[in-house]
Amino acid sequence: MHEMSIAMQIVEIAVASIPADLKNAQVKRVNLKIGKLAAVVPESLRFCFQIAVQDTPLREADLNIEEIPLRVRCTDCNAEWTAHEPVFICRKCNSGSVEMLSGRELDITSIEVVDEAD
Amino acid sequence: MHEFMNKNQRYYHHKEFHKPHHSHGGNNGEAENKKTGSREIKIVRKVLDVNDEIARQNRKIFAEKGVYVINVMSSPGSGKTAILEKTLARIAPAVRCAVIVGDICTSNDADRLSAFGAPVVQINTDAFGGDCHLAAHVIKTAVDNFHLDEIDLLIIENLGNLVCPAEFDMGEHLRIVVLSVTEGEDKPLKYPLMFRVCQAALLNKIDLLPHLDYDGEKAVQNILQVNPKMKIFEISAKTEDGFDAWIKWLKQKLRE
């Protein structure tokens, strides 16, 4: 539901990251990392992205989404595992002190640009 | 919505989010692909870092002014406003409260809450593109309406939505999720991030239990799977069952 704000924010960050020396740069690809637990639906984000890129240097850009698994660690017994369900109870010692190592990412990692003037 | 994107751009060096970007010299951070002529520019930035930065500023202001801030979230119709009405009736004016109410449109909730003498600011997010959540910059603007020196507790009633508000830090100290028993016991598993980021859950409308097939034990178990540290209160905003424990806990939080 908030994917449109996120898509627009991605466009904003990408545009601001185009080097000043590339006057006619077109962004061909935006690389994103989205954690499994992030409240973002990739399909919905792709749809919003198509709308948000109109009339920007990203109009032909692909959105490349790398899904980051939910990795968790028990702070009591140090067990680490990939959680496929949203269960934050240690499999080994039953402790409830389980921290997230990854899975909440919503990061833009890079953009790929070409300068049309080249 | 456009105000969400302020122009305050900051650059980060690889994974060191907390440090401002420094110059690499040369063409570092950019990989040239000779074949396609495209060039990869590393960014490594949180998409919502503008929001997170404003949330940090908010938190600093709240700390300076000694204001405790709670963010109340739930799906639509779970009874947030009714809970806040009954809560204000019990704690104000001894606790000096203020309320920020988010809604896509209408001021119905604000009208109900203003009856308790606490200042209320209504935010209609249609001005921000019909957003489904409140974000840090909206709160930053809204608090200008209050004399923060004269407020002990600021309650933010977020928009009815169990997904989006969970992603947006606003600078609050405490996050509370309201789940009404009519919504079913599986919601914590369907919306895990919301139940993970909150410190307390209010299970509302328990006065309706005789009419429902709701499995209370299962609901609590589902919440504790996602968040074993969650403080859970079973309440009814209608009959005020369970309110003594909830209010006692809230007052204790205010003293911490």
Q: Is the pLDDT of residue B59 over 60?
A: yes
Q: How far apart are CA B231 and CA B200, in angstroms?
A: 5
Residue pLDDT, tens place only, B180-197: 999 999 999 999 999 999
Average pLDDT over every residue of A31-47:
92
pLDDT grade for A1, boundaries at 50, 70 and 90? low
Cβ neighbours of A113 in B, within 8 Å: 38-39, 41
Q: How far apart are CA B21 and CA B9, in angstroms?
A: 11
What pLDDT is attached to residue A45? Answer: 94
pLDDT grade for B17, boundaries at 50, 70 and 90? very low
CB-nearest to A114 from B37, B48, B196 is B37
Percent share of chain B, pLDDT over 90: 68
Cβ A97–B228 below 8 Å, yes or no? Answer: yes
Average pLDDT over every residue of B20-38:
51
Chain A interface includes B57 (CB < 8 A): no
Q: How far apart are CA A65 and CA A106, in angstroms?
A: 10
Average pLDDT over every residue of A1-16:
90
Region class of B205: left (phi > 0), else alpha (psi between -120 and 50), else beta: left
Residue-wise burial string across B68-96, b where 16 or more C-beta atoms lie within 10 A, e elsewhere? bbbbbbbbeebbbbbbbbbbbebbbeebb
Cβ A85–B189 below 8 Å, yes or no? Answer: yes
What pLDDT is attached to residue B31? Answer: 60
Residue pLDDT, tens place only, A59-107: 999 999 999 999 999 999 999 999 999 999 999 999 999 999 999 999 9
Binding-site residues on chain A for chain B (CB distance < 8 A)? 1-2, 4-6, 8-10, 12-14, 16-19, 28-29, 32, 37-40, 85-89, 96-98, 104, 106-115, 118
**Comparison of pLDDT for B27 and B243, the residue scoring more:** B243
What pLDDT is attached to residue B36? Answer: 61
What pLDDT is attached to residue B38? Answer: 84
Cβ B43–A86 below 8 Å, yes or no? Answer: no
**Comparison of pLDDT for B23 and B84, the residue scoring more:** B84
Average confidence score pLDDT of chain B: 85
Chain A interface includes B12 (CB < 8 A): no
Q: How far apart are CA A99 and CA B58, in angstroms?
A: 26
CB-nearest to B228 from A8, A29, A89 is A89
Average pLDDT over every residue of B70-79:
96
What pLDDT is attached to residue B106? Answer: 78
Residue pLDDT, tens place only, B124-182: 876 555 677 888 999 999 999 999 999 999 999 998 889 888 989 999 999 999 999 99
What pLDDT is attached to residue A28? Answer: 96
The residues facing B203 across adjacent strands are: B179, B234
CA distance A50 to chain B (A): 17
Cβ B47–A10 below 8 Å, yes or no? Answer: yes
Cβ neighbours of A39 in B, within 8 Å: 163-164, 166-167, 193-194
Cβ neighbours of A20 in B, within 8 Å: none
Query: Is the pTM value of this prediction over 0.80?
Result: yes
pLDDT grade for B103, boundaries at 50, 70 and 90? confident
Positive or negative, the CA dihedral B158, B162, B166, B168 is negative
What pLDDT is attached to residue B34? Answer: 54
Contacts of A86 (CB under 8 A, 6+ apart): A37, A70, B188, B189, B192, B196, B225, B226
Chain A interface includes B169 (CB < 8 A): no
Chain A CA closest to residue B6: A12
Q: How far apart are CA B84 and CA B155, in angstroms?
A: 9
The residues facing A29 across adjacent strands are: A62, A112
pLDDT grade for B7, boundaries at 50, 70 and 90? very low
Q: Is the pLDDT of residue B105 over 80?
A: no
CA distance A112 to chain B (A): 4
CB-nearest to B38 from A6, A106, A114 is A114
Cβ neighbours of A38 in B, within 8 Å: 167, 193
What pLDDT is attached to residue B28? Answer: 43
CA distance B247 to chain A (A): 26
